[in-house]
Structure formats: C-alpha cells, structure tokens
Amino acid sequence: MKTTLTLAALASMALAAGCATKKGFEQPGFAFGCPIGDTKVSSMDDLVKAKTAMEGKRTTIQATEMRCTKAGDLMKIDANLNNDSSTVKRIAYKFRWIDREGMRAWEEETWKPLMLYNNSNLMINGVAPTPKAVDFRLILMSQE
C-alpha cells in the first residue's frame, strides 16, 4: 500500500515537473508569442534584451515586458515601458520591421514622442504594416 502511494506521488510529481518545463502552447522559435529564431530566450528579460535597441541619446527608460500576438495576418506587439526614476522622462520610440530574410520589411517608421510620468509604467503597442514583417526591434531614444 505504502509502495503504491509512493509510486503515485512520484508519478504525479514527474507529471507536474513535465508540465512545468513546457512553455504552455509556445511554438518552437517563439517566446511569449514573439519570434526569436535561434536566439536562446529563457526569460522575459532575455526577450526584452533581444528585441530592444537604443539609438541616439541613451535613455534610462527600460522595456520590462513584451508580448506578441497576431491580428489577422499582422504581427501585434505590446511592450511595457518603465520609468523607475523620480522625474518625468521624455523619449521617442519606433518599431523596426524585419522580414523572413532578415531584411527590412518596411521603411523606417517615424519616431513617436512619449512622456512617462515618474515611477510609472506605460504600455505601447505596435502593429506590423505588412504580413511580410515576421520579426521586429523596438528602438528607444532619449528626448532630453
């Protein structure tokens, strides 16, 4: 009886562990819905690091979360920007769209100015202009 209970407990633990290592219904080559290709992404931080770039004057504003989904055949991105400083920050951002071959899928977007209150988060979103865009980079620049 004791052996049966132990075996059942072990089996349920193994099952639970197996489920825990699976990333939900994530497709291979995707993390949090976002395309990652061959890049090793094991956490949200890894994803944000892989998908965010800074140009021009650097800003202390950080993307802290990023999720991607599909709106019809277009890629849709939600990114959370965090201002953990005690002052209002002004930045500009844009998305850069990349096609299957790693080339630009669309012309350079316009810089979009943004104001973030002190100690605050702001969700920005972007929609790919074309179904050819299968990857992206979020570009940030300080406006101060």
Partner 1 sequence: MRTYLVLIAAATLAAGCAKEVTSYGDARGIETVSNQFGSTDLQMIAEAMARSMQQSPAIVSGNLPIVTVQEVKNKTSEYIDTRAITDSIRSELQKGGKVRFAVDEVAMGQQVGEIKRQQSEYYARENAVEKGQMVGAQYRMEGNITSIVKQVRDTKDVYYKFNLQLWNIRNGLLEWSDEKEIRKTTTKG
Task: Report the interface residues with partner 1, using CB under 8 A.
Answer: 71-72, 74, 92, 106, 108-113, 126-127, 129-130, 143
Instruction: Name which of 30 and 111 has its Cβ closer to partner 1.
Output: 111
Taking the complex as a whole, how short is the minimal distance between the CB of residue 10 and partner 1, in angstroms? 49
Instruction: Name which of 84 and 111 has its Cβ closer to partner 1.
Output: 111
Instruction: Name which of 33 and 126 has its Cβ closer to partner 1.
Output: 126
Taking the complex as a whole, how short is the minimal distance between the CB of residue 129 and partner 1, in angstroms? 6
CA distances from 121 to 20, 44, 48, 94, 129 (A): 29, 16, 15, 17, 26
For residue 64, what are the contacts with CB-CB under 8 A and spacing of at least 6?
Answer: 44, 48, 80, 81, 82, 121
Instruction: Name which of 36 and 97 has its Cβ closer to partner 1.
Output: 97
DSSP state of 68: E
3-state helix, strand, coil in the chain (%, to 5): 20, 40, 40
In one letter, which amino acid is 44? M
Taking the complex as a whole, how short is the minimal distance between the CB of residue 76 and partner 1, in angstroms? 8
